[in-house]
A and B are shown apart, each in its own frame.
Chain A
Amino acid sequence: MSTASLPDDLQLRERFNELKPPLAPQAAAIEADRCLYCFDAPCTAACPTHIDVPGFIKRIASGNLRGSAMRILDANILGSSCARVCPVDVLCEGACVMHRHHRQPIQIALLQRHAMDAFHASGEPVPRVSDAARNLRVACIGGGPASLSCAAELRRRDAQVAILERRALPGGLNTYGVAEYKLRAADSLREIDMIRRMGVEFRFGVSVDSAAAFERLESEFDFVFLGVGLGAMQRLGIPGEDLEGVMNALELIASYKTGHLREVHGTVVVVGAGNTAIDAANAARRLGAETVYLLYRRSESDMSAFDFEYEHAKQEGVQFLWRRQPLAVRRNADGRLSLDTVQVRQVDRALLAIPDSQYTISCDLLVPAIGQSPLTQLLQELRGVEVRDGRIVVEPVTGQTANPRYFAGGDCVNGGREVVDAVADGKRTALAILKTAEAAAHA
């Protein structure tokens, strides 16, 4: 397997046309000129990877697109996908001083995409940061954003790096888990191909799931980076959830993005109110579902999805059922599902069923979306790597675990944040690994 693109799927493209189309060159120049070029800019501080936002924007304004892309890539090797998937309302664009100037914030994400698209179109390689021959070998377990970032940073500084991925394609959630109207799987793969061309080795279909496997790794590599993300979707814990017609949100998203799920009909119920639940509900609408309910046991004000995601779901026609809990799911003779639910009320953090409030929803697909469980089983195999509450414990600035040869970053450390957080972890950790290796060499 390789980082080659998925075949172009016209139906997928049409149904999941981009939410935010790219800026035309002149529109980008005009928008770039609007940037005030703040000193020590709040947008840069708000970005977990601290991209020099005014710096790359002014390069767009001057027509130095290559320099702009370099400025982005120096801080964030996944600048292309982050431009598409970052919740910029709560990051760079949320921090833009234009809000206090009673103006629209600068469209940082679209400008970043403009520079990165031009770079990818040029086909240019990412230049090395140093060209000192370095005898350092690092394995990155998991092919998601944290590992990609760590591997790329190390490779730019001439380490030998291999990414070990259990699936057929690299990218983790970037390839399999982001709504297609935000980031197309093909664009994720294009970005990863850029990293492959830097000389990062990819090994697919590799599961590192035993002590023996880790021992083999330790003999081949000097350091191991754990970018394993989170595990399977959490289960609802209700009767009937293994029936046909129940498909968790990540499975649904991965299936349609890879062309395996092309149509959905009738009524779909998504359980949960996070960003992934919203992505799944919107996807169900776009795949053809007539009615999509998003069912959440708490209230609107408790939902963890970003405000703009909630607004978007409403525009897509998703209907929300608040303070309703699923009890059981059954399969009827006609092949449809019956989901028994009950209205609940919240007393402090506890949820109490309201008497005589049960009702049954007939649906064709039930989509649990109540978060991912940590990969505890795997993590416990790792001797000397401390795991607390299902998360790997690291030193925040270096990403180093209790075992000095093991580093970690991304969702398996932070419990599930954004792509840009994983990229930041990977970058910081790569630099820490280099430092540790240099210290060891001088010892």
Chain B
Amino acid sequence: MPDIRIRNFAGGIHSLNPFWLASAPPTNCGEQIMRAFDAGWGGAVWKTIGEPVTNVSSRYSSIDWQAQRIMGFNNIELISDRTVEDNLREMAEVKRRYPQNAVIASLMVASNRDTWHEIVARAEDAGADGLELNFGCPHGMSERGMGSAVGQVPEYTEMITGWVKEKAHTPVLVKLTPNISDIRMVARAAKRGGADGLSAINTINSITGIDLDTFVPRPDVDGKSSHGGYCGPAVKPIALNMVQQIMADPESALPLSGIGGIGTWRDAAEFILLGSGTVQVCTAVMHYGYRIVEDMIEGLENWMRSKGFATIEEFCGLSVNRVAEWKHLNLNYKIVARIDEQKCIGCDLCHIACWDGAHQCIHLDRVSGPVDGHVELHPTPAQKEVETRASLAFTPVTRKERIMDPAVHGPYPTPLERIPRVDETECVGCNLCSLVCPVDNCITMVRVENGLAPETWEERTRGQTCAVQPQSSIG
């Protein structure tokens, strides 16, 4: 079996696996964290410790996607509402009973050197394996000059990181807010301030929705709401992009704990491929409980085994350099859509998607005869529908009528007139049809040899001083 243990992360944090609980309600108290460790979590970042707060009810809201609950999740909860003493006493007990698991103290206090020095010392005395500076919380705390109010100003981030490093003996991670135009500006500041590592991303400013009966946004606190922090599966692409930006920037790159929409081992593998040394999970645990870590561990191990990776380090960061600036992409790489007639079920979503949302090159003309070329040569989707609505249909009441069902005729499972055809002379290889097709591997994008040598935009325009004629673009 591959070894998924984490050693010396950010200069000295060890854990049984890369799966940590993020600083959030699942790490509210020692009892929870010990149960999480029993379930298999490698580490936990304690719910942010600081001067205790008063929270509101309600606190959470979410966005469902079709029948699936919690595609995106939002909260307006503040940091821990428990005393520093209670939190640190329990932390000491957790560390005593679970020496092999990583316990990170998430900290947030007033922006004052002595106050930070004091909390750092107390957390380390309690046995924290590392510190995570919460410069990301986007709601409530930021109004009091903490959280993202610090993380949105590189100078503050650098300064407070520096204060902490003056005192800390354990690794210091700075947790970054995504609510900034370029996350690298703050990542660089943290690095200049001496941070040993980064955690990214914190939640994204959000209003998840508005109750259409009361007109109050969710979550409703006595007729008013407040912008909250968005997380869950919906934010993963945003988080992956920011992680990649940080890890590809030499002035930002540090050991990084990836956060943002991670719920499965697949998500975790993607974050690690973009350079995350560990990953942190919250929303998926709030949805399903600590037990999800079992499949995350097994799935990651099985995937690593199938790919021949013995350790996390072997694949950490492999995909960072697979992201390039657009100007470095090969303009002469050409692919077209191919439809597998044996797999096509005849939903014709690719046809309407191509006509209305792409380049009008998927047609329903297998019976009437293929026509290649511009849009004017083909009947429009609306004309097709009018034809159907005008047709006479009746219930096949006799067996003979039922046997004459047209669906059973033709060489493919789907009647030929419903299997779309790609005009490859017009196809721009945009992928849209393959994305809307509900059948796996029915539409594949196939490389077409055009005999042209690779050429990037930068190469094509080298030596030119102004923009040249643009290629076809989706704008």
B345 touches A100 (CB 8 A): yes
- Among B50-58, B135-143, B396-404, the one that faces the other chain is B396-404
Q: How far is the CA of A33 from the CA of B69 in the complex (A)?
A: 13
Partner of A87, one of B66, B395, B399, B405: B395
Q: How far is the CA of A29 from the CA of B438 in the complex (A)?
A: 19
Q: How far is the CA of A40 from the CA of B364 in the complex (A)?
A: 11
Per-position 1/0 for B384-396, Cβ under 8 A of A? 1100110111111
Q: Which residues from chain B contact A50 at a C-beta distance below 8 Å?
A: 388-389, 391, 393
Q: Which residues from chain A contact B349 at a C-beta distance below 8 Å?
A: 36-39
A97 touches B394 (CB 8 A): no
Measured CB to CB, the closest approach of chain B to A354, in angstroms, equals 25
Q: Which residues from chain B contact A94 at a C-beta distance below 8 Å?
A: 405
Closest-by-CB residue of B relative to A274 is: B397
Partner of B381, one of A33, A40, A418: A40
Per-position 1/0 for B296-325, Cβ under 8 A of A? 000000000000000000000000000000
Known: A90-B402, A397-B392. A101 touches B397 (CB 8 A): no
Partner of B347, one of A33, A36, A46: A36
Q: Which residues from chain A contact B407 at a C-beta distance below 8 Å?
A: 95
Measured CB to CB, the closest approach of chain A to B346, in angstroms, equals 5
B397 touches A417 (CB 8 A): yes
B393 touches A396 (CB 8 A): no
A100 touches B438 (CB 8 A): no
Measured CB to CB, the closest approach of chain A to B411, in angstroms, equals 14
Q: How far is the CA of A61 from the CA of B66 in the complex (A)?
A: 8
Q: How far is the CA of A301 from the CA of B398 in the complex (A)?
A: 11
Q: Which residues from chain B contact A160 at a C-beta distance below 8 Å?
A: none
A436 at the A/B interface (Cβ < 8 Å)? no
A304 at the A/B interface (Cβ < 8 Å)? yes
A48 touches B395 (CB 8 A): yes
A33 touches B395 (CB 8 A): no
Known: A39-B349, A39-B352. A44 touches B395 (CB 8 A): no
Q: Which residues from chain B contact A91 at a C-beta distance below 8 Å?
A: 395
Looking at chain A's contact residues, is the secondary structure mostly helix, strand, loop, or mixed?
helix
A304 touches B397 (CB 8 A): yes
B351 at the A/B interface (Cβ < 8 Å)? yes
Interface residues on A, range: 35 or more
Partner of B394, one of A30, A48, A86: A48
B414 at the A/B interface (Cβ < 8 Å)? yes
Q: Which residues from chain B contact A301 at a C-beta distance below 8 Å?
A: 399
A414 at the A/B interface (Cβ < 8 Å)? yes
Q: How far is the CA of A48 from the CA of B389 in the complex (A)?
A: 10
Partner of A47, one of B345, B393, B396, B398: B393
Closest-by-CB residue of B relative to A29 is: B67
Q: Which residues from chain A contact B384 at a C-beta distance below 8 Å?
A: 40
Closest-by-CB residue of A relative to B65 is: A33
Partner of A97, one of B66, B346, B389, B399: B346
A97 touches B402 (CB 8 A): no
Q: How far is the CA of A40 from the CA of B418 in the complex (A)?
A: 9
A40 touches B393 (CB 8 A): no
Within 8 A of B (CB), among A76-102: 86-87, 90-91, 94-95, 97-98, 100-101
B439 at the A/B interface (Cβ < 8 Å)? yes
Within 8 A of B (CB), among A181-213: none
Interface pairs (9), CB distance under 8 Å: A39-B381, A40-B384, A44-B388, A45-B393, A50-B391, A97-B414, A100-B345, A418-B397, A424-B394
Q: Known pairs A29-B67, A50-B389; list 20 more (Cβ under 8 Å).
A: A33-B66, A33-B67, A38-B347, A39-B349, A39-B352, A40-B348, A45-B393, A86-B395, A90-B395, A90-B396, A91-B395, A97-B414, A100-B346, A100-B413, A304-B397, A304-B398, A397-B392, A417-B395, A424-B393, A424-B394
